[in-house]
């Protein structure tokens, strides 16, 4: 009975620590960003690996190949169109790249 209780407590502790652990990514030209307040999507793309969006700040972090970039003031309609695009990479190159530069309007603060 004691072994079962010990295993149970170990599993509960492990689950709690996994919940507490925050994911932070390094964003090129900026630094570390916590993805906790973001909702992430994983498009079926060889170039666009993950799209994370924080709607209340219109703030986006995108993983392109192995590098994270961020974009500011990105309207939710653009994100919706991107997520439903036939090619996430082509959509990025046409509508995102070169637009929504965080250096032009500041990065949202918490």
pLDDT tens readout for residues 39-62? 999 999 999 999 999 999 999 999
pLDDT digits (tens, 9 = 90+) for 76-98: 999 999 999 999 999 999 999 99
Q: How confident is the model at residue 4 (pLDDT cuts 50, 70, 90)?
A: low
Domain boundaries, the chain: 23-103
- Residue 63 and residue 40 in contact, taking contact as beta carbons nearer than 8 Å: no
CA 52 to chain centroid: 3
Q: List the 31-34 sheet strands across, edge first.
A: 31-34, 24-27, 67-72, 59-64, 48-54, 39-41
pTM of the model: 0.79
Q: Which two tokens stand for residue 100?
A: 């929504």
- Nearest CA to 43 out of 22, 70, 64 is that of 64
């Amino acid at each position: 009975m004691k072994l079962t209780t010990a295993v149970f407590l170990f599993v509960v502790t492990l689950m709690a620590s996994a919940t507490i652990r925050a994911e932070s990514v390094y964003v090129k030209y900026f630094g570390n960003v916590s993805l906790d307040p973001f909702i992430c999507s994983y498009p079926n793309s060889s170039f666009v690996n993950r799209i994370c969006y924080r709607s209340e700040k219109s703030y986006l972090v995108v993983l392109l190949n192995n590098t994270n970039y961020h974009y500011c003031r990105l309207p939710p309609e653009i994100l919706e169109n991107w997520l439903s695009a036939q090619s996430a990479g082509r959509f990025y190159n046409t509508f995102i790249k070169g637009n929504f530069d965080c250096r032009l309007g500041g990065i949202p603060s918490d």
